[in-house]
Chain A
Amino acid sequence: MAASSERSPPPFPDLEEPELLEDSDEGADAFTGTSISEMDSPSPDTSRPPKDIFNEPPEDIFSDPLSNINSEPQKKVDAKISSPSSDEAVDLFSEPLDDDSEVMSSPEVQNPMPDLLSEPKSGVLGEPPVQKNAARQQDVFEEPPKGSSKSSSVKKAASAEMLGDDDEEEDLFKEPPKVVTRKPQPSGPPVDVFTEVKSDVKVKPQVKDDPTDLFSEEALTAPAPKPSANSSSSSRTNGVHSEEQDLFSEATVELSLDSPRNDRKKDAVKPSVSAPAAPEASSSSKAPSKTLEELEEEESEDKFDLNISVTNPEKVGDGMNAYMAYKVSTQTSLTMFRSKTFTVRRRFSDFLGLFEKLSEKHSQNGYIIPPPPEKSILGMTKVKVGKEDPSSAEFVERRRAALERYLQRVVCHPSLLQDPDVREFLEKEELPRAVSTQALSGAGFLKMLNKATDAVSKMTIKMNEQDVWFDEKIQDVENEEQHLRKLHVMVESLVNHRKELSGNTAVFAKSVAMLGSSEDNTALSRALSQLAEVEDRIEQLHQEQASNDFFTFSELLADYIRLLGAVRGCFDQRMKAWQRWQDAENMLQKKRETEAKLLWANKPDKLQQAKDEIAEWEAKVTQYERDFERISATVRKEVIRFDKEKARDFKRQIIKYLESVLHSQQQMIKYWEAFLPEAKAIA
Chain B
Amino acid sequence: MTSISEDSDKEKVRSVSVDLNNDASLVIDIPDALCERDKVKFTIHIKTTLSSFQKSEFSVPRQHEDFIWLHDTIVETEEYAGLIIPPAPPKPDFEGPREKMHKLGEGESSMTKEEYAKMKQELEAEYLAVFKKTVQVHEVFLQRLSSHPMFRKDRNFQIFLEYDQDLTVRRKNAKEMFGGFFKNMVKSADEVLISGVKEVDEFFEQEKIFLLDYSSKIKDATAKAEKMTRSHKNVADDYNHISGAMNSIAADNNTAFKKHLEKCAEVFEKLRKLEDRVASDQELKLTELLRYYTRDIQAAKDLLYRRARALADYENSNKTLDKARLKGKDIAQAEENQKQCLRKFDKLSESGKKELTSFKARRVVAFRKNLIEMTELEIKHAKNSMSLLQGSIEILNSN
Asked if A480 contacts B389 (CB within 8 A), the reply is no
In chain B, residues 277-318, which have Cβ atoms closer than 8 Å to a Cβ of chain A?
A: none
B271 located at the interface, meaning its Cβ lies under 8 Å from any Cβ of chain A in the complex? yes
In chain A, residues 470-516, which have Cβ atoms closer than 8 Å to a Cβ of chain B?
A: 476, 479-480, 483-484, 486-487, 490-491, 493-494, 497-498, 500-501, 504-505, 507-508, 510-512, 514-515
B385 located at the interface, meaning its Cβ lies under 8 Å from any Cβ of chain A in the complex? yes
Stretch at the interface among A429-437, A523-531, A572-580: A523-531
Q: Which bucket holds chain A's interface residue count?
A: 35 or more
Docked Cα-Cα span, A446 to B221, in Å, equals 58
B81 located at the interface, meaning its Cβ lies under 8 Å from any Cβ of chain A in the complex? no
Asked if A662 contacts B393 (CB within 8 A), the reply is yes
B16 located at the interface, meaning its Cβ lies under 8 Å from any Cβ of chain A in the complex? no
Asked if A494 contacts B242 (CB within 8 A), the reply is yes
B205 located at the interface, meaning its Cβ lies under 8 Å from any Cβ of chain A in the complex? no
B177 located at the interface, meaning its Cβ lies under 8 Å from any Cβ of chain A in the complex? no
In chain A, residues 659-683, which have Cβ atoms closer than 8 Å to a Cβ of chain B?
A: 659, 661-662, 665-666, 668-669, 672-673, 675-676, 679-680, 682-683
- Decide if the interface of chain A is mainly helix, strand, loop or mixed: helix
- The listed residue (A515, A647, A661, A672) touching B389 by CB distance below 8 A is A661
Docked Cα-Cα span, A518 to B363, in Å, equals 14
A301 located at the interface, meaning its Cβ lies under 8 Å from any Cβ of chain B in the complex? no
B361: min CB distance to chain A, Å: 9
A337 located at the interface, meaning its Cβ lies under 8 Å from any Cβ of chain B in the complex? no
Asked if A646 contacts B257 (CB within 8 A), the reply is yes
Chain B residues, Cβ within 8 Å of A479: 252
Docked Cα-Cα span, A501 to B372, in Å, equals 22
Chain A residues, Cβ within 8 Å of B230: 504
Asked if A501 contacts B217 (CB within 8 A), the reply is no
B218 located at the interface, meaning its Cβ lies under 8 Å from any Cβ of chain A in the complex? yes
B91 located at the interface, meaning its Cβ lies under 8 Å from any Cβ of chain A in the complex? no
Chain B residues, Cβ within 8 Å of A668: 378, 382
B285: min CB distance to chain A, Å: 11
B260: min CB distance to chain A, Å: 6
Binary contact readout B254-265 vs A (1 if CB under 8 angstroms, 0 otherwise): 111100110010
Supposing A669-B386, A683-B368 touch, asked if A486 and B245 sit within 8 A by C-beta, the answer is yes
Binary contact readout A516-547 vs B (1 if CB under 8 angstroms, 0 otherwise): 00111101100110010000000000000000
Supposing A654-B264, A662-B389 touch, asked if A679 and B397 sit within 8 A by C-beta, the answer is no
B178 located at the interface, meaning its Cβ lies under 8 Å from any Cβ of chain A in the complex? no
Asked if A106 contacts B221 (CB within 8 A), the reply is no
Asked if B242 contacts A491 (CB within 8 A), the reply is yes
Chain B residues, Cβ within 8 Å of A321: none
B108: min CB distance to chain A, Å: 19
Asked if B210 contacts A497 (CB within 8 A), the reply is no
B396 located at the interface, meaning its Cβ lies under 8 Å from any Cβ of chain A in the complex? yes
Question: Which of B267, B375, B386 has most A Cβ within 10 Å?
Answer: B375
A540: min CB distance to chain B, Å: 15
Asked if B385 contacts A501 (CB within 8 A), the reply is no
Chain B residues, Cβ within 8 Å of A460: none
Docked Cα-Cα span, A519 to B241, in Å, equals 41
- The listed residue (A486, A515, A531, A669) touching B382 by CB distance below 8 A is A669
A551 located at the interface, meaning its Cβ lies under 8 Å from any Cβ of chain B in the complex? no
Binary contact readout B188-206 vs A (1 if CB under 8 angstroms, 0 otherwise): 0000000000000000000
Q: Which residue of A lies closest to B374 (CB)?
A: A679
B142 located at the interface, meaning its Cβ lies under 8 Å from any Cβ of chain A in the complex? no
B24 located at the interface, meaning its Cβ lies under 8 Å from any Cβ of chain A in the complex? no
- The listed residue (A480, A504, A662, A672) touching B375 by CB distance below 8 A is A672
B227 located at the interface, meaning its Cβ lies under 8 Å from any Cβ of chain A in the complex? yes
Stretch at the interface among B44-52, B145-153, B231-239: B231-239
Supposing A658-B389, A658-B393, A676-B375 touch, asked if A511 and B249 sit within 8 A by C-beta, the answer is no
Q: Which residue of B lies closest to A502 (CB)?
A: B231
Supposing A480-B253, A669-B379, A672-B382 touch, asked if A511 and B217 sit within 8 A by C-beta, the answer is yes
Asked if B227 contacts A504 (CB within 8 A), the reply is yes
A461 located at the interface, meaning its Cβ lies under 8 Å from any Cβ of chain B in the complex? no
Chain A residues, Cβ within 8 Å of B237: 497
A102 located at the interface, meaning its Cβ lies under 8 Å from any Cβ of chain B in the complex? yes
Asked if A497 contacts B371 (CB within 8 A), the reply is no
Asked if A661 contacts B271 (CB within 8 A), the reply is yes
Asked if A676 contacts B372 (CB within 8 A), the reply is yes
Question: Which of A511, A524, A528 has most B Cβ within 10 Å?
Answer: A511
- How many A-B contacts at CB < 8 Å in the complex? 169
Docked Cα-Cα span, A501 to B227, in Å, equals 8
Docked Cα-Cα span, A458 to B257, in Å, equals 30
B367 located at the interface, meaning its Cβ lies under 8 Å from any Cβ of chain A in the complex? yes
Asked if B217 contacts A673 (CB within 8 A), the reply is no
B321 located at the interface, meaning its Cβ lies under 8 Å from any Cβ of chain A in the complex? no
Chain A residues, Cβ within 8 Å of B267: 658
Asked if B245 contacts A487 (CB within 8 A), the reply is yes
B360 located at the interface, meaning its Cβ lies under 8 Å from any Cβ of chain A in the complex? yes
- Decide if the interface of chain B is mainly helix, strand, loop or mixed: helix
In chain B, residues 369-399, which have Cβ atoms closer than 8 Å to a Cβ of chain A?
A: 371-372, 375-376, 378-379, 382-383, 385-386, 389-390, 392-393, 396-397
Q: Which bucket holds chain B's interface residue count?
A: 35 or more
Chain A residues, Cβ within 8 Å of B218: 515
Asked if B221 contacts A494 (CB within 8 A), the reply is no
Asked if B396 contacts A658 (CB within 8 A), the reply is yes
Chain B residues, Cβ within 8 Å of A519: 214
Asked if B221 contacts A683 (CB within 8 A), the reply is no
B213: min CB distance to chain A, Å: 5
A107 located at the interface, meaning its Cβ lies under 8 Å from any Cβ of chain B in the complex? yes
- The listed residue (B214, B249, B386, B397) touching A655 by CB distance below 8 A is B397
Chain A residues, Cβ within 8 Å of B249: 480, 483-484, 487
Asked if B371 contacts A682 (CB within 8 A), the reply is yes
Chain B residues, Cβ within 8 Å of A531: 371
A653: min CB distance to chain B, Å: 11
Docked Cα-Cα span, A523 to B363, in Å, equals 12
Asked if A504 contacts B371 (CB within 8 A), the reply is no
B120 located at the interface, meaning its Cβ lies under 8 Å from any Cβ of chain A in the complex? no
Asked if B379 contacts A683 (CB within 8 A), the reply is no
- The listed residue (B225, B248, B264, B367) touching A524 by CB distance below 8 A is B367
A358: min CB distance to chain B, Å: 26
Asked if B252 contacts A514 (CB within 8 A), the reply is no
Asked if B257 contacts A650 (CB within 8 A), the reply is yes
Docked Cα-Cα span, A659 to B260, in Å, equals 16
Docked Cα-Cα span, A524 to B271, in Å, equals 33
Q: Which residue of B lies closest to A488 (CB)?
A: B245
Asked if B227 contacts A508 (CB within 8 A), the reply is yes
A651 located at the interface, meaning its Cβ lies under 8 Å from any Cβ of chain B in the complex? yes
A593 located at the interface, meaning its Cβ lies under 8 Å from any Cβ of chain B in the complex? no
Docked Cα-Cα span, A262 to B383, in Å, equals 73
Docked Cα-Cα span, A643 to B234, in Å, equals 33
A105 located at the interface, meaning its Cβ lies under 8 Å from any Cβ of chain B in the complex? yes
Chain B residues, Cβ within 8 Å of A518: 210, 213-214, 217
Docked Cα-Cα span, A511 to B239, in Å, equals 28
A567: min CB distance to chain B, Å: 14
Of the A-B pairs whose beta carbons lie under 8 Å apart in the complex, a sample of 11, sorted by A's number, is: A483-B252, A487-B246, A487-B249, A490-B242, A490-B245, A508-B224, A647-B256, A650-B261, A661-B385, A662-B393, A679-B372
Residues of B within 8 A of A (CB): 210, 213-214, 217-218, 220-221, 224-225, 227-228, 230-232, 234-235, 237-239, 241-242, 244-246, 248-249, 252-257, 260-261, 264, 267, 271, 360, 363-364, 367-368, 371-372, 375-376, 378-379, 382-383, 385-386, 389-390, 392-393, 396-397
Apart from A497-B234, A510-B224, what are 13 other A-B pairs with CB-CB below 8 Å?
A: A479-B252, A480-B252, A483-B245, A483-B248, A515-B217, A515-B220, A521-B363, A527-B371, A650-B261, A654-B260, A655-B393, A661-B389, A676-B372
Going nearest first, the 4 A-B pairs with the smallest beta carbon separation are A106-B255, A494-B238, A487-B245, A682-B368
Residues of A within 8 A of B (CB): 102, 105-107, 476, 479-480, 483-484, 486-487, 490-491, 493-494, 497-498, 500-501, 504-505, 507-508, 510-512, 514-515, 518-521, 523-524, 527-528, 531, 643, 646-647, 650-651, 654-655, 658-659, 661-662, 665-666, 668-669, 672-673, 675-676, 679-680, 682-683
